[in-house]
Amino acid sequence: MSSSVFVEVDHVDRVFNLANGETYIALKNIELKIKQGEFISLIGHSGCGKSTLLNIIAGLDQPSQGGITLEGREVRDPGPDRMVVFQNYSLLPWLSVRENIALAVEEVYRGNTQAERELVIEHHIKLVGLGHAADKRPGEISGGMKQRVAIARALAIRPKLLLLDEPFGALDALTRGGLQEQLMKICEESKVTGVMVTHDVDEALLLSDRIVMLTNGPEAKIGQILEVNIPRPRKRMEVVNHPSYYALRNEMVYFLNTQKRIKLRRAAQKQAPAVISRNGLEKINLDIGFIPLTDCAPLVVAKEKGFFQAHGLEEVTLSREPSWKAIAQGIADERLDAAQMVAGMPIAMFLGMDGQAPVPVNTALTLSRNGNSIIFGKHLYDKGIRTLEDFKASIASSPDRVHTLGMVHATSMQNLLFRYWLATGGIDPDLDVGLTVIPPPQMVSNLTAGNIDGYCAGDPWNSHAINEGVGFAIARSLDIMPGHIEKVLGVREDWAQKYPQTHLALVKALLEACEYCDDRRNRPEILEMLCRDEYVGADPKNIRPGFLDAYNSGTGAEPEMLYNFNQFYVDQTNCPDRLEMLWVMAQMARWGLIPFPKNWIEVADRVLRADVFGQAVRELGLPDIMKARRSINLFDGTVFKADDPIDYLQKVKIKRAVRIEEILIEPIGSQCSIPQPAA
């Protein structure tokens, strides 16, 4: 199988216009790369858009956004390089088997001689074992034989891509099994690339190199991709007896059952009509919590530049909170309508961390990326510590001394990236050092007093320590995990259900504010706003590095211009992304903060409201493009993939005891709407 990309499905959306003037989004942000000679199965429940995607690849339907390329050329129309085999055979009843196959061959091979065309026809009749029935018409042969004719007709024109839409779905088990074996043999001999839609998990495992599992519609996405690591050539019993067979099968069945649960839960949700207040919104007076950090800028800008008011939110109060714990409590007890949150807080509140009662929280917007540094005290610099390796050696040389390090909240990227960085250097963050929670504004005073040896936080508190001469930046978060998620917008799930138009207006206002923040021409004005006492209240010299000016690490090196140190809008900053939240969940589970949900797709999709984000960008006239399916690359060379986080957790070396639990999730609005571990 070639390693180069043969077929590329590039950010494909399919939107249908309905008779009532509304739209139905069938497929959302489908991205898939297929290698030459690879056989792919598309699987999912009815209505997930499998056949729609197949038709788009075939050129029988057009994507509303994105596109398909075959060998680098865009697919716009049907063509002989792509042949489709449908479930209903699509044979002409008045023609014989030979004549049905000849119809395609005569059309495509017009430049060949009659003798050459006849050789092609007879070869493919023999290939599917229909020599004895070559002169019979479709009404005179069985369903399985008809499907063999359809396959022979498709293969006879030597397509580059064979597309099959549940080709064996209407056949009895015995006939289906025989045809599956024959198709597998033909594909291996012909080296044809195949994409098949199926509902049959065993069929998918038998035939596929990879299985693409789609979530429910509307806005169906790729939920997970399974690599079928069973060697070829394959025989049915050898596949069934392969050590990976049942694990792969169970993974597929589990995914499908999870999606079925989601489908039933959505159908059971009956939302009462919202009471509209003014401006078409249910609620126009909001209290929004934030922490005094440089990356609270979108909230400040939305208020000061009138974005909230422009979207009908007439009375927005920004509540400066003393700690992230206070933010979580403010959302939990409904004192706050919404809040700036650290990345892992929505998932942790949803699952109920540290013995707290679960509070279902949604996030429909990423507010910022990057922006953190790991600051060590100047006393460590004076001891010659410049790198992680130096720090490990220092710990080893003084085993009786415990280095105490600060982080802002257990669910923050500051904690998770700090831990990741330490563990990469062979330092156990729970056994070799002491990590303690300190609110960001108190970091510098604790470092100055000698209560901590270092910390990980966001600015202005990092530059404050550097400018005061008490600390230096030994690492920056954008170097550890470039473009990492940082702060998100969090609201209670029941609040989002009760005030859907208000929630949408809030996301739109903040999205416009994020765009305003990443226009660097606006940064001097934003700096002045942030320095006000009611917001960050910091000296401008501690906000400017990284935000406006070159970043000074306090090591004597030349300050470096980092244009993405504080990132608010560019490079698809804002769309909620399952992969990023999955990494956050995996890291929290790695350190024993939460159980890792076995049904992680269900949990992530319940917390992340990409649908609200999508509606917001469409109403703002912005491109409705989500982040691509990809992997996360970290500074140590680790590649984190979306499709097997449990395998990652099992293989990572330094960790706590990892708990893997299925989380039972009841419908929104029910008396038991909080997630609970399965019995």
In the 3-class helix/strand/coil scheme, how is 115-174 assigned residue by residue?
A: HHHHHHHHHHHHHCCCHHHCCCCHHHCCHHHHHHHHHHHHHHCCCCEEEEECCCCCCCHH
Same domain as 312, residue 258: no
Whether 627 shows a pLDDT value over 60: the answer reads yes
pTM score over 0.75: yes
Q: Where does a domain end: 207, 237, 267? A: 267
Is 223:213 a contact under the CB 8 Å cutoff? Answer: yes
Segments forming the whole domain that contains residue 357: 285-370+484-677
Residue 64 is classified by DSSP as S
Same domain as 252, residue 192: yes
Q: What is the pLDDT of residue 272?
A: 53
Same domain as 173, residue 127: yes
Kindly report the CATH number assigned to the domain that includes residue 51: 3.40.50.300
Same domain as 542, residue 585: yes
Q: How many CB atoms lie within 10 A of CB 90?
A: 13
Phi, psi dihedral angles at 29 (to 5 degrees):
55, 50
Whether 234 shows a pLDDT value over 60: the answer reads yes
What is the chain's mean pLDDT, rounded?
90
Burial class, 463, CB count within 10 angstroms (exposed 0-12 / middle 13-18 / buried 19+): buried
Same domain as 131, residue 247: yes
pLDDT-derived band at 35, boundaries 50, 70, 90: very high
Whether 673 shows a pLDDT value over 50: the answer reads no
- Tell whether 280 is covered by a domain: no
How far is CA 321 from its chain centroid?
30
Q: Which of 191, 228, 194 is nearest to 209 (CA)?
A: 228
Phi, psi dihedral angles at 132 (to 5 degrees):
-70, -15
pLDDT-derived band at 675, boundaries 50, 70, 90: low
Same domain as 217, residue 101: yes
* Host H or E run for residue 181: helix 173-190
Q: What is the pLDDT of residue 630?
A: 86
Q: Where does a domain end: 452, 480, 508? A: 480
Is 73:117 a contact under the CB 8 Å cutoff? Answer: no
Structure tokens at 568: 């608010």
Whether 271 shows a pLDDT value over 60: the answer reads no
Percent of the chain past pLDDT 90, that is, above it, reads: 69
Same domain as 565, residue 467: no
Length of the chain: 679
- For tokens 């990423």, what's the residue? 366
Q: Which of 41, 39, 38, 32 is nearest to 1 (CA)?
A: 38
User: What is the average pLDDT across 85-104?
Assistant: 83
pLDDT-derived band at 672, boundaries 50, 70, 90: very low
Whether 570 shows a pLDDT value over 80: the answer reads yes
- Tell whether 625 is covered by a domain: yes
User: What is the average pLDDT across 637-658?
Assistant: 92
Phi-psi region of 596 (alpha: psi -120 to 50; beta: other; left: phi over 0): beta
Q: What is the pLDDT of residue 269?
A: 62
Same domain as 650, residue 635: yes
Q: Where does a domain end: 458, 480, 502? A: 480
- Tell whether 81 is covered by a domain: yes
User: What is the average pLDDT across 216-233?
Assistant: 92
Measure the N-to-C terminal CA separation of the chain; round to a whole number of Å.
44
Q: By 3-state DSSP, what share of the chain in percent is helix, strand and coil, each rounded to 5?
A: 40, 20, 40
- Please state, in angstroms and rounded to a whole number, the distance separating the CA atoms of residues 501 and 612: 10
Whether 309 shows a pLDDT value over 70: the answer reads yes
Q: What is the pLDDT of residue 388?
A: 96
Kindly report the CATH number assigned to the domain that includes residue 654: 3.40.190.10
- Tell whether 501 is covered by a domain: yes
More confident residue, 188 or 15: 15
The order of strands in the sheet holding 39-43 is: 82-85, 161-165, 193-197, 39-43, 210-214, 222-227
Highest mean pLDDT among 128-142, 148-162, 221-235, 409-423 belongs to 409-423
Q: What is the pLDDT of residue 279?
A: 80
Same domain as 639, residue 502: yes
**Cα-Cα-Cα-Cα dihedral sign, residues 503, 504, 509, 515:** positive
- Tell whether 273 is covered by a domain: no
- Tell whether 356 is covered by a domain: yes
| Weakest mean pLDDT among 75-89, 264-278, 574-588 | 264-278
Q: How many CB atoms lie within 10 A of CB 583?
A: 26
- Tell whether 278 is covered by a domain: no
Query: SS3 for 329-395, per residue?
Result: HHHHCCCCCEEEEECCHHHHHHHCHHHCCCCCEEEEEEEEECCEEEEEEHHHHHCCCCCHHHHHHHH
Q: Which of 587, 392, 395, 561 is nearest to 478 (CA)?
A: 561
- Please state, in angstroms and rounded to a whole number, the distance separating the CA atoms of residues 222 and 224: 6
CB hemisphere CA count around 598 (13 angstroms): 18
More confident residue, 517 or 175: 517
User: What is the average pLDDT across 2-25?
Assistant: 89
Same domain as 561, residue 476: no
Q: What is the pLDDT of residue 423?
A: 97
Q: What is the pLDDT of residue 667?
A: 61
- Tell whether 63 is covered by a domain: yes
Same domain as 361, residue 380: no
Tally the domains of the chain.
3
- Please state, in angstroms and rounded to a whole number, the distance separating the CA atoms of residues 89 and 603: 40
Same domain as 503, residue 358: yes
The CA angle 541-545-551, to the nearest 5 degrees, is 140
User: What is the average pLDDT across 409-414?
Assistant: 95
How far is CA 619 from its chain centroid?
23
Cis bond upstream, residue 80 (ω within 30): no
Span 281-295, pLDDT tens digits:
999 999 999 999 999
Percent of the chain past pLDDT 70, that is, above it, reads: 96
| Weakest mean pLDDT among 22-31, 81-90, 538-547 | 81-90
Q: What is the pLDDT of residue 679?
A: 42
Structure tokens at 535: 């917001």
